[in-house]
Amino acid sequence: MKRQPAKTYYSKVSSPYQWSVGETVGTFFTEMRENGRLLGKRCPACGKVFCPPLDHCEYCFVLMEEWVELPDRGTVRAWSRVEHYYPGMPYDLPFAYALIQIEGADNCMVHVLRFTDLDALEEGAGVKAVWKEPEDRKGDIFDIAHFRLG
Ligand SMILES: [Zn+2]
C-alpha cells in the first residue's frame, strides 16, 4: 500500500475569557492604577509581607487582613534575559523577565526589566518601577511599564 503524504491542518482557536482577581488583588491593582503605589499584606502569625498580596499566608495558612504600603523599588533575585524575538513578545529587545523582591516584602513579583546594559545585571541589583502615565493605567500589573536599575 502506498503511503499518503502527511497533511497538516492549520487553524486558530479563540477563547476569550474574564477572570475575577478577587478583593485582595483587586485592591492591589486599584491602588496601582489610582495612586501609583504598591500595597502588600502582612501575616498576623509570622509577620511576613507579601507583594503581590495574597488572601492567606502561604506559610501559616491564616487570613491576612493588614495592608502595608511599600516602596516601588526592590531587588532582583533572578532573571531570564530574552535574546530572540518570539510571537507576542510584549517588548522590543533587550529585556528580561525577573523575580523582583519589593523592599519590605518577603516574596517576589514577576515583572520585566528594561535597560540597555543587561550584561551588567547581577543578582541583588536594585531596581525601581517605571509607571505608566496615570491616564494610561488600566488596573493591572502592567500599570508598572517595567523596572529599571535604580
Ligand atoms: Zn504567616
Q: What's the 111 CA to ligand 1 centre distance in angstroms?
A: 24
- Residue 11's pLDDT is 86
- All structural domains of the chain with their residue ranges: 22-149
Using a CB cutoff of 5 Å, list residues around ligand 1, an ion.
43, 45-46, 57, 59-60
Q: What is the pLDDT along the chain (150 residues), one digit of tens a residue?
A: 788 887 888 888 889 999 899 999 999 999 999 999 999 999 999 999 999 999 999 999 999 999 999 999 999 999 999 989 888 888 888 899 999 999 999 999 999 999 778 888 899 999 999 999 999 999 999 999 999 998
Summarised one tens digit per residue, pLDDT across range 50-92 is 999 999 999 999 999 999 999 999 999 999 999 898 888 888 8
- Residue 88's pLDDT is 83
Q: What's the 28 CA to ligand 1 centre distance in angstroms?
A: 19
Who's near 78: CB < 8 A, 6+ residues apart? 98, 99, 108, 123
Position of cell 525577573?
98
Q: What's the 42 CA to ligand 1 centre distance in angstroms?
A: 8
Q: What's the 64 CA to ligand 1 centre distance in angstroms?
A: 8
pTM recorded for the entire structure: 0.86
Q: What's the 48 CA to ligand 1 centre distance in angstroms?
A: 6
- Residue 111's pLDDT is 96
Q: What's the 128 CA to ligand 1 centre distance in angstroms?
A: 27
Following DSSP, what letter does each residue of 120-135 receive, concatenated?
G--TT-EEEEEEPPGG
Q: What's the 62 CA to ligand 1 centre distance in angstroms?
A: 7
